[in-house]
């Protein structure tokens, strides 16, 4: 693979697509057979955007965060709980909707499931290795893909493959 095509190995998500997929996740979490949610708990930082979208769609005003660090750029490290949500709210997790942008290996979701066994774990995107740990997700992405989320990207000019027929 050439250097100029390195970005094509990833899964690129626009703001519009992410918003649509987060709303689709909210729709799956609403209606008959779903619990009456008490709160959304967003896993920082990636879960904050879908957490807010889902809270809006489901009419939930209680939005809390949990911060679990496992990544240093693209490398996995030891899990650390940096901030726990309100203990009185969480209990065993009953009625709590924990939201993240994606599940990769599943380590973060397993860490949260251990602490809040009755919480519902919902993610927008799931890779096969961690998909079984999510109770609900919208789309599966190949394990070897890097998911480029809109808050991690900026618009830049890209050179065409050839200058032939293109002005310089």
Query: Of 75, 92, 100, 144, which one is the catalytic site residue?
Result: 100
CA distances for 149 relative to 16, 153, 159, angstroms? 11, 7, 22
CA atoms within 13 A on the CB side of 39: 18
| 8-state DSSP, 151 | G
123 annotated as belonging to a binding site for a ligand:
no
Domain that holds residue 92: 8-152
Cβ atoms within 10 Å, residue 12:
15
Residues contacting 33, CB < 8 A, separation 6+: none
How much is the pLDDT for 60? 98
104 annotated as belonging to a binding site for a ligand:
yes
Query: Of 21, 86, 92, 104, which one is the catalytic site residue?
Result: 104
Q: How many domains does the chain have?
A: 1
133 annotated as belonging to a binding site for a ligand:
no
Q: How buried is 146 (Cβ within 10 angstroms: 0-12 exposed, 13-18 middle, 19+ buried)? A: middle
152 annotated as belonging to a binding site for a ligand:
no
- Do 157 and 137 meet the contact criterion of CB atoms below 8 Å apart? no
46 annotated as belonging to a binding site for a ligand:
yes
148 lies in some domain? yes
Query: Of 101, 135, 144, 159, which one is the catalytic site residue?
Result: 101
How much is the pLDDT for 1? 38
Query: Could you confirm whether 104 is annotated as catalytic?
Result: yes
Query: Could you confirm whether 86 is annotated as catalytic?
Result: no
Tell me the pLDDT band of 157, cut-offs 50, 70 and 90.
confident
Q: What is the pLDDT of residues 91-149, one digit of tens each?
A: 999 999 999 999 999 999 999 999 999 999 999 999 999 999 999 999 999 999 999 99
128 lies in some domain? yes
Q: What is the pLDDT of residues 91-102, one digit of tens each?
A: 999 999 999 999
147 annotated as belonging to a binding site for a ligand:
yes
167 lies in some domain? no
108 lies in some domain? yes
Domain with residue 38: its CATH number is 3.40.50.2020
21 lies in some domain? yes
1 lies in some domain? no
What is the distance in angstroms between the CA of the first residue and the CA of the last residue of the chain? 26
Residue 108: which of 124, 86, 130, 125 has the closest Cα?
130
Whether 38 shows a pLDDT value over 60: the answer reads yes
162 lies in some domain? no
Q: What is the pLDDT of residues 51-85, one digit of tens each?
A: 999 999 999 999 999 999 865 655 667 899 999 99
166 lies in some domain? no
Give the phi and the psi of residue 126 in degrees, each rounded to 5.
Answer: -130, 135
Whether 151 shows a pLDDT value over 60: the answer reads yes
């Amino acid at each position: 693979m050439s250097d100029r095509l390195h970005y094509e190995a990833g899964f690129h998500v626009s703001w519009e697509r992410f918003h649509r997929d987060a709303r689709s996740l909210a729709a799956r979490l609403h209606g008959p057979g779903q619990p009456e949610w008490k709160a959304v708990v967003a896993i920082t930082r990636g879960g904050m955007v879908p957490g807010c979208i889902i809270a809006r769609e489901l009419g939930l005003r209680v939005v809390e965060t949990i911060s679990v660090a496992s990544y240093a750029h693209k490398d996995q490290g030891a899990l650390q709980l940096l901030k726990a949500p309100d203990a009185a709210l969480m209990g065993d997790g009953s009625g709590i909707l924990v939201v993240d942008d994606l599940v990769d290996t599943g380590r973060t979701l397993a860490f949260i499931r251990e602490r809040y066994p009755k919480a519902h774990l919902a993610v927008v995107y799931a890779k096969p290795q961690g998909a079984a740990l999510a109770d609900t997700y919208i789309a599966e992405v190949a394990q070897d893909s890097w998911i480029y989320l809109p808050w991690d990207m900026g618009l830049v000019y890209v050179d065409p493959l050839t200058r032939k027929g293109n002005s310089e």
